[in-house]
C-alpha cells in the first residue's frame, strides 16, 4: 500500500471506471453508483496528487471508499483492493437457478394464504397445542350479556344480525358478501370520522413571519386587515399580512390487535374480535395518511405492517375483515402455519408491546406517538402475576414515560360475567400504567371517544 505512483494517470484512468463498473455489477450493491461518483473520485485524487506529487495505492482505495455511500463502504474497499491486486470479481456471478424454486413460482397461488403470509413470527412458544374454540360447543353461551355493535344510527341491529347470521356459514360467496357489506358501512363511518379530524386540523390564520412561504399569504384577509387599519403602502409592515396554514402535528401510530383464543369466544353471537375489528377498521382507514404500523399477537407476534412500510390500505382492511368473516379454524390455519409444531392462540403480547415501544421511540421527537391496543385484556390468571406478564405493564408504563400515548381499546366482553374475574385486575393495572381506556362496544361511540382523546393530546 505504500508504493508511490509518480505517474498515476494511466492506473487512475483504468482504476476509476473499473471500480464503478464492478460496483454496478455487484449483487451486494443495491443503489448502483452513477457517473458522478467516478467524477468525484478523480476530483478527490487531484488535491492529493497536487499536494504530494504522487499517489499511493492507499489513496486510490480511500477515494473509492469515501465516495461510496456509508452502507457500501465495506464492499467498496474490497472491490478496490480486488482491482488493485488484479483479482477476479468475487460476487458478480449469477446464482445458479433453482429449478424447484422456479416450479414453485409457477404453481397456482393460494390467495387466502398469501394474503396472510405477512410479517414475521417471533418468540415461538413450544408446548401443548390448545384446541381452538369451536362455536358449536359454546360453553359461554349460557352467560348473558348486553353488548351491542353498530356503525351508526339505525344500522346497529342490521350489522349485528348480519354478523350473527353469516358468521358460521361455510360458503365462501356469502362470507365475501358480508365482508363487502361490512367494509362499505365501516368505511362510511371512517369517512365521517376523517372529516371530523380534518376539521380539528382547521387552517390557522396568523401574521406572516420571516421564513414563511409567501405563497401561503391569504391575500383577502391581508388586504382587509391593511384597509381596516387605514394603512398606506408606505406604512405596511410584513406582519400586517396573514398566512393561512394547516398546523398539523404528525402522528406515528401502532395498532396492536389481540388474536388470541379468548378473542374468538362468543357471547350472544359476537366475539371480542368482532368488536375490535369493527372499531379498528374505520380508525385505521381514517388515519391512513399518518405513519402507522400494525401487529397481531397470540403466542407469537405477527408484524403486519412496519411503521415506514407502504401498503395498500384496502389490503389491510380486507385482511382485518377476514378475521370476522372467516371461521376461527381458517384463521388458525393461517397463523399456525402448516407444520403444526407451533402453539397458536395463547396470549403473549410482550413482543408486540416491545416492538411498539421501540418503533415509536424511534419515530421522532416532534411526532405525536400513539399505541392503540385492541384486546379483551384476558392477560393473566387471576391472582398470578408472573415476571413475563409484569413486563407488559412495565412496557406500557415506559411508553407513558417516553411520551407515547397508550389507548387500551377494550372489548365489551372483557367486563362480561365469564371474563370479569380475569380482566378486573388487568384493566385496573393497565389503567394505572397510564393508558386511556376506551370501549369498543359501538364503533361510532368508540370513534367519538378517540376524537375526544385526540383533541386533548
Which positions from 29 to 58 touch another protein by CB under 8 A, shown as an x/- string? --x--x-xx-xx--xx-xxx----------
Binding segment for another protein among 78-86, 171-179, 309-317, 389-397 (CB under 8 A)?
Answer: 389-397
Nearer to another protein, 54 or 448 (CB): 54
Q: Can you read off the three cell numbers belonging to residue 17?
A: 471506471
Q: What gap in Å lies between CA 282 and CA 188, rounded to an integer?
A: 8
Binding segment for another protein among 140-148, 174-182, 265-273, 357-365 (CB under 8 A)?
Answer: 357-365
Contacts for 17-26: CB closer than 8 Å, 24+ residues apart: 18/83, 19/64, 19/76, 19/79, 19/80, 19/83, 22/79, 22/82, 22/83, 22/89, 22/92, 23/68, 23/72, 23/75, 23/76, 23/79, 25/89, 25/92, 26/75, 26/79, 26/89, 26/91, 26/92
Nearest to 237 by CA among 225, 221, 247, 246: 225
Q: Angle, nearest 10°, between helix axes 35-52 and 9-25? A: 150
**Which of the residues 100 through 119 are near another protein (CB under 8 A)?**
none
Nearer to another protein, 324 or 395 (CB): 395
Nearer to another protein, 94 or 233 (CB): 233
Closest approach, Cβ 44 to another protein, in A, equals 5
Nearer to another protein, 207 or 269 (CB): 207
Closest approach, Cβ 275 to another protein, in A, equals 29
**What's the full length of the chain, in residues?**
457
Closest approach, Cβ 227 to another protein, in A, equals 13
Closest approach, Cβ 208 to another protein, in A, equals 6
* Total residues in contact with another protein, by rule CB under 8 A: 48
Closest approach, Cβ 126 to another protein, in A, equals 23
Question: Is 244:218 a contact under the CB 8 Å cutoff?
Answer: yes
Q: What gap in Å lies between CA 224 and CA 24, rounded to an integer?
A: 60
Chain position carrying cell 421501540? 358
Q: What gap in Å lies between CA 47 and CA 105, rounded to an integer?
A: 53
Contact with another protein (CB under 8 A) among 26, 68, 262, 347: 68
Closest approach, Cβ 62 to another protein, in A, equals 8
Question: Is 419:386 a contact under the CB 8 Å cutoff?
Answer: no
Nearer to another protein, 43 or 314 (CB): 43
Enumerate the β-bridge partners of residue 244.
205
Please, what is the end-to-end C-alpha distance for the chain in angstroms?
60
Residues 6 or more apart in contact with residue 443 via CB below 8 angstroms: 149, 150, 151, 186, 189, 278, 279, 281, 282
Q: What gap in Å lies between CA 257 and CA 277, rounded to an integer?
A: 8
Residues 6 or more apart in contact with residue 402 via CB below 8 angstroms: 357, 360, 361, 369
Nearer to another protein, 158 or 217 (CB): 217
Contact with another protein (CB under 8 A) among 88, 128, 366, 384: 366
Nearer to another protein, 76 or 267 (CB): 76
Closest approach, Cβ 64 to another protein, in A, equals 11
Residues 6 or more apart in contact with residue 225 via CB below 8 angstroms: 240, 241, 242
Closest approach, Cβ 46 to another protein, in A, equals 6
Contact with another protein (CB under 8 A) among 122, 367, 425, 431: 367
Q: Can you read off the three cell numbers belonging to residue 435?
A: 393508558
**Which of the residues 198 through 257 are near another protein (CB under 8 A)?**
208, 210-214, 217, 222, 233-234, 236-238, 240-241, 250
Which positions from 301 to 340 touch another protein by CB under 8 A, shown as an x/- string? ----------------------------------------
Contact with another protein (CB under 8 A) among 87, 125, 394, 457: 394
Binding segment for another protein among 11-19, 67-75, 189-197, 408-416 (CB under 8 A)?
Answer: 67-75
Q: What gap in Å lies between CA 57 and CA 22, rounded to an integer?
A: 18
67 binds another protein (CB under 8 A): yes
171 sits in which H/E element: none
Q: Which residues bind another protein (CB under 8 A)?
A: 31, 34, 36-37, 39-40, 43-44, 46-48, 62, 66-70, 73, 208, 210-214, 217, 222, 233-234, 236-238, 240-241, 250, 354, 357-358, 361-367, 391, 394-395, 398
Amino acid at each position: 500500500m505504500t508504493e508511490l505512483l509518480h505517474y498515476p494517470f494511466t492506473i487512475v484512468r483504468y482504476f476509476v471506471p473499473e471500480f464503478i463498473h464492478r460496483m454496478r455489477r455487484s449483487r451486494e450493491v443495491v443503489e448502483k453508483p452513477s457517473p458522478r461518483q467516478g467524477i468525484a473520485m478523480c476530483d478527490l485524487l487531484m488535491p492529493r496528487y497536487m499536494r504530494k506529487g504522487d499517489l499511493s495505492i492507499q489513496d486510490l482505495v480511500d477515494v473509492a471508499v469515501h465516495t461510496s455511500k456509508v452502507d457500501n463502504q465495506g464492499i467498496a474497499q474490497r472491490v478496490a483492493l480486488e482491482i488493485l491486486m488484479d483479482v477476479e470479481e468475487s460476487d458478480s456471478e449469477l446464482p445458479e437457478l433453482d429449478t424447484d424454486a422456479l416450479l414453485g413460482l409457477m404453481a397456482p397461488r393460494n390467495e387466502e394464504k398469501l394474503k396472510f403470509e405477512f410479517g414475521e413470527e417471533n418468540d415461538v412458544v413450544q408446548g401443548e397445542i390448545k384446541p381452538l374454540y369451536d362455536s358449536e360447543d359454546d360453553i359461554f353461551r349460557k352467560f348473558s350479556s348486553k353488548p351491542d355493535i353498530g356503525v351508526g344510527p339505525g344500522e346497529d341491529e342490521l350489522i349485528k344480525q348480519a354478523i350473527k347470521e353469516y358468521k358460521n356459514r361455510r360458503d365462501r360467496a356469502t362470507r365475501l358478501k358480508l365482508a363487502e357489506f361490512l367494509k362499505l358501512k365501516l368505511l362510511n363511518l371512517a369517512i365521517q370520522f376523517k372529516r371530523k379530524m380534518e376539521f380539528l386540523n382547521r387552517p390557522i390564520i396568523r401574521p406572516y413571519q420571516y421564513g414563511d412561504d409567501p405563497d401561503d399569504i391569504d391575500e383577502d384577509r391581508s388586504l382587509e386587515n391593511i384597509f381596516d387599519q387605514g394603512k398606506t403602502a408606505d406604512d405596511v409592515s410584513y406582519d400586517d399580512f396573514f398566512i393561512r396554514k394547516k398546523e398539523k402535528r404528525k402522528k406515528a401510530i401502532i395498532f396492536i390487535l389481540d388474536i388470541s383464543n379468548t378473542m374468538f369466544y362468543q357471547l350472544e353471537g359476537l366475539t371480542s374480535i368482532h368488536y375490535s375489528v369493527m372499531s379498528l377498521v374505520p380508525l385505521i382507514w381514517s388515519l391512513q395518511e399518518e405513519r402507522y404500523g400494525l401487529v397481531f399477537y397470540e403466542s407469537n407476534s405477527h408484524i403486519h405492517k412496519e411503521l415506514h412500510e407502504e401498503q395498500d390500505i384496502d389490503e389491510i382492511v380486507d385482511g382485518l375483515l377476514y378475521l370476522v368473516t372467516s371461521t376461527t379454524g381458517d384463521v388458525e390455519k393461517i397463523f399456525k402455519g402448516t407444520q403444526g409444531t407451533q402453539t397458536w392462540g395463547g396470549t403473549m403480547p410482550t413482543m408486540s408491546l416491545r416492538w411498539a415501544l421501540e418503533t415509536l421511540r424511534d419515530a421522532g421527537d416532534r411526532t405525536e406517538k400513539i399505541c392503540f391496543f385492541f384486546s379483551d385484556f384476558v392477560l393473566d390468571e387471576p391472582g398470578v402475576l408472573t415476571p413475563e406478564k409484569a413486563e407488559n405493564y412495565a412496557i406500557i408504563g415506559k411508553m407513558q414515560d417516553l411520551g407515547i400515548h397508550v389507548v387500551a381499546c377494550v372489548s365489551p366482553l372483557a367486563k362480561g360475567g365469564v371474563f370479569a374475574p380475569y380482566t378486573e385486575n388487568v384493566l385496573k393495572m393497565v389503567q394505572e400504567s397510564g393508558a386511556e381506556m376506551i370501549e369498543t362496544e359501538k364503533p361510532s361511540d368508540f370513534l367519538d371517544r378517540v376524537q375526544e382523546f385526540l383533541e386533548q393530546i
